[in-house]
Amino acid sequence: RAYSLVDSSQVSTFLISILLIVYGSFRSLNMDFENQDKEKDNSSAAGSFNGNSTNNSIQTIDSTQALFLPIGASVSLLVMFFFFDSVQVVFTICTAVLATIAFAFLLLPMCQYLTRPCSPQNKISFGCCGRFTAAELLSFSLSVMLVLIWVLTGHWLLMDALAMGLCVAMIAFVRLPSLKVSCLLLSGLLIYDVFWVFFSAYIFNSNVMVKVATQPADNPLDVLSRKLHLGPNVGRDVPRLSLPGKLVFPSSTGSHFSMLGIGDIVMPGLLLCFVLRYDNYKKQANSDSCGAPGPGNISGRMQKVSYFHCTLIGYFVGLLTATVASRIHRAAQPALLYLVPFTLLPLLTMAYLKGDLRRMWSEPFHSKSGSSRFLEV
C-alpha cells in the first residue's frame, strides 16, 4: 500500500524546530547587542564588536567541554536507563524547575510588550530574592501556572510548550566560540547518537535512547500523596508525566506521534547561532572597512549568501532526510547522523570558498590586536 513519507505531524515538527532555532539565535544576537550597549555606556573607551558576551549568565563551550560532553551525556543516559525508578521524581522536579525558568524567558518579550504601556520598567525589590520588573514577574507567574497545569494534566501540548522554552533558552545562553569547537561538539554528539540508537541494543538488550526518551515518570503529586498517606482519592488520579525533553506531535489520524529530541534542535541551533553572530560580525567589519570586497575568486553573488541561510537550509534538508529514513526503515533514526553532515559540510565548503575558513576556525570574535584599546586611550 502506498503511504506518504512525511505526514502532518512531521511537518509540524519541521516548522516548530526551525522557528525555535531562528528565534533562539536572534534572541542570542539581541543579547549581544544589549551587552554591547551596556559596555559603551559603562566605558568611555571605544572598542570593536566582540561576539563573546561578558554576561555572567552566558556559558561558552570550550574544546575540552566539547570533547567530554558526549561522555557526560552517555553517563546520564545510563543512569536514567538503570536507575530511572529511583531518580525519576528528583529528575522530574529538576526538569520542571528548569522548564519554568526557560519558559519564563520565552514569554518575557511578549510580557514586556504588554506591560510597557501601563507600567514603568523600574525593578521591584523582593529582598534577598532580587529585583524584578513587572514583565519578569508576569512571565514567571504565567510559566509557573503552565507548569502546574502540565503536572495536573500531563497534556502533550503543554509539554511541547515547556520543551520550546528549554530549546530557546539553551540556544540563547550557550555559545560556541569557534568553528573548531563546533566541529568537535557536533562530531562527538553524532557518534553518541549513532551508538545509543543503533548499537546499544546489542549490549543492553534494549534501545537505550528510545527507552529513556519515551519512558513516562511518576507524577510528583501521586508520589507525595503516597508518602504522606493522604488517602486513595488524593493525588491518585493525576497522570504519569512524559518529560519535556522532546517535541511530540500527533498524526492527523491520531495513530502515532512524531517525536524529535530537543538535543536535535539545540545542538544544530548552537551552530546556527554561531554563524548568525559571525554574519553580523563580518557585516560590521565590512562596514567599518568601507565595504572592502571579498576574495577575487568568488563572485559577488556568492559573497551575498549568508552562512546562516546556508546552514539553515542544510538543517531542513537533514531533518527531511532523517524523517524519510525513519519512515522507510520503520525504526527510530539518530537525527544527528543526518543533521550534522547537512549543516557542517555546506558551512565548511562555503567558508573555504569565501576565504573565511581560517578566521572562523579559531576564535573569530576575538580582536587580533590586544593592545589597540590601550593605544587609543
314-352 residues labelled b (16+ CB within 10 A) or e (exposed)? bbbebbbbbbebbbeeeebbbbbbbbbebbbebbbebbe
Q: How far apart are CA 279 and CA 29, in angstroms?
A: 11
Residue 367 is assigned to a structural domain of this protein: no
| Segment 350-375, tens digit of pLDDT | 999 888 899 999 877 765 444 333 33
Counting the structural domains of the chain, the total is 1
Judge whether 100 and 147 are in contact, CB under 8 Å: yes
Q: Print the domain residue range for 151.
A: 8-37+57-117+130-260
Residue 348 is assigned to a structural domain of this protein: no
**Would you say residue 46 has pLDDT above 50?**
no
Residue 259's pLDDT band (cuts 50, 70, 90): confident
pLDDT of residue 232: 59
Please provide the average confidence, as pLDDT, over all residues in the chain.
Answer: 82
CB-based contacts of 213: which residues, under 8 Å, 6+ apart? Answer: 245, 246, 259, 261
* Cell triple for 297: 575568486
**Would you say residue 163 has pLDDT above 70?**
yes
pLDDT of residue 178: 93
Q: How far apart are CA 141 and CA 222, in angstroms?
A: 24
Q: Is 264 a catalytic residue?
A: yes
| Segment 303-320, tens digit of pLDDT | 677 899 999 999 999 999
pLDDT of residue 296: 46
Residue 196 is assigned to a structural domain of this protein: yes
- As a whole number of Å, the CA-based R_g of the chain is 23
**Would you say residue 34 has pLDDT above 70?**
yes
* Cell triple for 313: 537550509
Residue 326 is assigned to a structural domain of this protein: no
Q: What are the contacts of 364-368 at 24+ separation with CB within 8 A?
A: 364/51, 364/178, 364/179, 364/278, 364/281, 365/49, 365/50, 365/51, 365/52, 365/177, 365/277, 365/278, 365/281, 366/50, 366/52, 367/47, 367/48, 367/50
Residue 372 is assigned to a structural domain of this protein: no
* Amino acid making up residue 282: K
pLDDT of residue 115: 85
Residue 331 is assigned to a structural domain of this protein: no
Residue 3 is assigned to a structural domain of this protein: no
Judge whether 312 and 276 are in contact, CB under 8 Å: no
Determine which one of 32, 160, 222, 264 is catalytic.
Answer: 264
The better pLDDT of the pair 87, 183 is held by 183
**Would you say residue 187 has pLDDT above 70?**
yes
| Segment 48-62, tens digit of pLDDT | 444 444 455 789 999
Determine which one of 7, 32, 160, 193 is catalytic.
Answer: 193
Residue 363 is assigned to a structural domain of this protein: no
